[in-house]
Amino acid sequence: MFKCKFLASATIMLGLCAAAMAEGTTNDGLNFKPAPYMFVGVQGGAQTTFSKNYDNLKLITPTASVSFGAFFTPVVGARLHVNGAWNKGGYDENGLDFKYDYKYITTDIDMMINLVNLFGKRCYSPMNVYLITGFGLNTAWDNGDAYANKNVLPLAYDGTRFSHNIRVGAMADYNITKNFSVNLEISGNSLSDRYNSKLTNHDDWQLTTQLGLAYKFGYKKKPVVKEPEPEPEVWETRIDTTWYDDVIYEEVKRDRNIEKQIFFGIRKDGVDATQAQITEVAEFLKGVENGEITITSYADKKTGNPKVNMGYSKKRAESTKNALVKAGVDEKMIKSVEWKGDTVQPFPENDKNRCSIITGHGVYTDKDPKTVKKFRTKEVRYRVK
C-alpha cells in the first residue's frame, strides 16, 4: 500500500515536471531579471522512515521545514534547509509488537537545479521544476521508548544521536506573483543504520512529501535601454523623365496611274456603266487631286474596212465615255476622247484590238507611319534619410 502511494506521488511530480517543461511561458517584458534572487520558505507535510518488519503506513508522521537560499543564475541555486520534529519507529517480531516515538532535526545544504531553464529559455517562467541534492547533519533524540526495549533493539540509543543525511529530491514550484510561490517537494533522505534504532545492515531511508510557500526577494532590475530617438525623415522631390517610342502619320503626296482595257466583240460597241473596268476607274478618281483620264478606242484590221472600222472605234470611245460619266466620273476629268480605227493596232493579237483603252493619272494623299521619340515627366517624392 505504501509503495502505491509513493508511486502515485512520483507520478504527480513527473506530471508537474512535464507540464512545466512543455509550458515554455516566458515574459521578457518584466522589469526585473529572473536571477539572481534570494528566498525564504516554509513547508509542511508528512514523512515516514522505512522500517524492517513493520507497516510503514503506521509510521507516517507530520513534518515541517524552513529554508533560506538563493538562485545565483537562472539554473543554479542553493539553500539551507532545516526539517524535522516528529518521527516513529516500530517493531513486530518474536511475538512483540510495539511502536516508539522520537524527535529529529535534519539540517542540509542543498543544491537546486532549475530544469525548466536548463533545457529551455533562461528567463522568467511561472512554473519551475528543481532537482535537489544535498548533504547535511541529522540529530535525533528523545528515544526513550526504544531504549527501554534495547534488548530487542540493539541500536537503540539514549540521549542524542548524530547522523549524516544525504538528500535527493525534486520540487515543482509555481509563481503566484513575482515574490510569492507555492511548491510541492518530494525527497528521499539517507541516514545511518542506527537512526531508527533498528538493525538493517544498511542506511535508513526517510521519504518526505511537503507543500510549501516561498517568499522571493532581491531581484535586480533590468537595465533600462533607452531607445535612440529616430532621426527626422528628410524627403525631396525630383522629376523623372521616361522616354518611349510613338508613331505619327505624315501626309505624303504620291502620283498614281491607272490603265484599263475594255474589249468588244465583232461589230459591238456597247459599254455598261457597271462593268468592272468602268467601276475601277470611277473609284480611282474619287478623292484624287488633279485627276484626269484619256480614252482611246480601236478596231481590228482583219474585220471590215478602214472606214467602217473608224466608225466602230468612234462609237466605242463615246460609249466608254458615257459609261464613265454614268458611273460618277466628273466629265471635266476626261481630258480627251480619241478613236483610231484600225490605223493603230495596240495588241499583236488581232481580236484584242477591238477595244477601248482608258489611262488615268492623279495625285493621292497618303499617310505614312513614322516612329518618333517622345518623353513624359512625373514628379516623384522620395526619402533621403
The domain segmentation of the chain, as residue ranges, is 2-217, 244-371
Residue 62 in contact with residue 85, Cβ under 8 Å? yes
Binning the chain into helix, strand and coil, the percentages to the nearest 5 are 20, 50, 30
pLDDT of residue 22: 39
Q: Render each residue's pLDDT in the chain as its tens digit; 385 residues.
A: 434 444 344 444 444 444 444 333 444 567 888 889 999 999 999 999 887 777 778 889 999 999 999 999 999 999 999 999 888 888 777 777 778 888 899 999 999 999 998 887 777 788 999 999 999 999 988 887 777 787 778 787 777 888 899 999 999 999 999 899 999 999 999 988 878 887 777 788 889 999 999 999 988 888 777 888 888 888 889 888 998 888 888 888 888 899 999 999 998 999 988 889 999 999 999 878 888 999 999 999 998 899 999 999 999 999 999 999 999 999 999 999 999 999 999 999 999 999 999 999 999 888 888 888 888 899 888 888 7
- Looking at the domain that runs over 2-217, which CATH code has it been given? 2.40.160.20
CA–CA separation, 321 and 77 (whole Å):
125
Global pTM value: 0.53
Show the cell assigned to 54.
513493520
Q: Locate cell 543544491: which residue?
A: 111
Strands 289-297 and 355-383: antiparallel
Going by C-alpha positions, the residue among 18, 32, 11, 147 that lies closest to residue 91 is 147
Angle at 327 between CA 326 and CA 331, to 5 degrees: 65
Q: What cell does 153 get?
A: 533493539
Which of 257, 258, 260, 274 lies closest to 355 in space, CA to CA? 260
Main-chain phi, psi angles of 382, to 5 degrees: -135, 155
Q: Do the Cβ atoms of 213 and 176 come closer than 8 Å?
A: no
DSSP state of 36: S
What one-letter code names the amino acid at 202? H
Fold adopted by 244-371 = 60s Ribosomal Protein L30; Chain: A; (3.30.1330)
For residue 5, give the 3-state DSSP assignment. helix
Residue bearing cell 499583236: 348
Specify whether the CB–CB gap between 196 and 50 falls below 8 A.
no
Q: Is 103 helix (H, G, I), strand (E, B) or coil?
A: strand
User: What is the C-alpha separation between 362 and 205, in angstroms, rounded?
Assistant: 129
3-state secondary structure of 259: strand
